[in-house]
Amino acid sequence: MKHDLVVFVPGFLGSRLRRDGRDIWDEYGNALLGSGPSAPALAELALPPGLGDELPDERFRLVADELLTVPDSMPGLLSCMGYPDIRASLGDPVEGQYVPFPYDWRLSHRLVADQLNARVQRELARWCEQVDRHYPGRPDDPKVILVCHSTGGLVGRHYLECSGGRETARALVTLGTPQQGLAQAVRLLTGHAVGDDEDLGADARMLNEVLRDFALTLPSVAQLLPVYDAVRVKGKSRLRTVADSRYPVPDLPTAVVEEAVSFHRRFQAAREAHRHTDTDGRLPYQVYCVGSTAFPTVRTIGLSSDGSRLVMKSDDNFLAPGDGTVPRESAVAEWAVQDESAMLWTDHRNGDMASAAAVGETLAAVRKGDPAGGMLAGDEQITLYVPDVAPASKPFEASVVGASLRERNVRAFMWRVGRPVRQPVVFTATTPDLFRAELEVGPGRWVVEAVAEGPNRADRKVVTLFAP
CA–CA distance, 114 with 155 (Å, rounded to integer) = 9
Q: In what order do the strands lie in the sheet with 444-452?
A: 389-391, 457-466, 444-452, 411-416, 423-424
**CATH number for the domain running over 383-466:** 2.60.40.10
CA–CA distance, 190 with 309 (Å, rounded to integer) = 10
- Cβ atoms of 66 and 15 within 8 Å: the answer is yes
Residue among 328, 65, 365, 310 at smallest CA distance from 180: 328
- Cβ atoms of 445 and 415 within 8 Å: the answer is no
The phi and psi torsions of 297 (rounded to 5 degrees) equal: -135, 135
Domain boundaries of the chain, sorted by first residue:
5-182+260-368, 383-466
Rg of the Cα atoms in the chain: 22
β-partners of residue 157 are: none
β-partners of residue 452 are: 457
* H/E run at residue 100: strand 98-100
CATH superfamily of 5-182+260-368: Alpha/Beta hydrolase fold, catalytic domain (3.40.50.1820)
pTM over 0.85: yes
Q: What pLDDT score was predicted for residue 315?
A: 63
Q: What pLDDT score was predicted for residue 335?
A: 93
Contacts from 244-253 at CB under 8 Å and sequence distance 24+?
246/307, 247/303, 247/307, 248/307, 249/186, 249/190, 249/301, 249/303, 249/310, 250/190, 250/303, 250/307, 250/308, 250/309, 250/310, 251/190, 251/191, 251/310, 252/186, 252/189, 252/190, 252/225, 253/189, 253/216
β-partners of residue 461 are: 448
CA angle 386, 388, 394 (to 5 degrees): 70
Q: Going residue by residue through the chain, which has 468 residues, state the pLDDT in tens, using 9 for 90 and above.
A: 899 999 999 999 999 999 999 898 888 877 777 655 455 667 788 999 899 999 999 999 999 999 999 999 998 899 999 999 899 888 889 999 999 999 999 999 999 999 999 999 999 999 999 999 999 989 999 999 999 999 999 999 999 999 999 989 999 999 999 999 999 999 999 999 886 655 666 777 888 888 999 999 999 999 999 999 999 999 999 999 999 999 999 999 999 999 999 999 999 999 999 999 998 888 999 999 999 988 999 999 999 999 999 987 656 679 999 999 999 999 999 999 876 667 888 888 999 999 877 777 778 778 777 776 555 655 578 899 998 888 887 899 999 998 889 889 999 999 998 888 899 999 999 998 899 999 999 888 899 999 999 888 889 999 988 887
- Cβ atoms of 169 and 287 within 8 Å: the answer is no
Peptide bond into 443 cis (omega under 30): no
Q: What pLDDT score was predicted for residue 40?
A: 66
Contacts from 233-238 at CB under 8 Å and sequence distance 24+?
233/302, 233/303, 233/304, 233/305, 233/307, 234/302, 234/303, 234/304, 234/305, 234/311, 235/305, 236/305
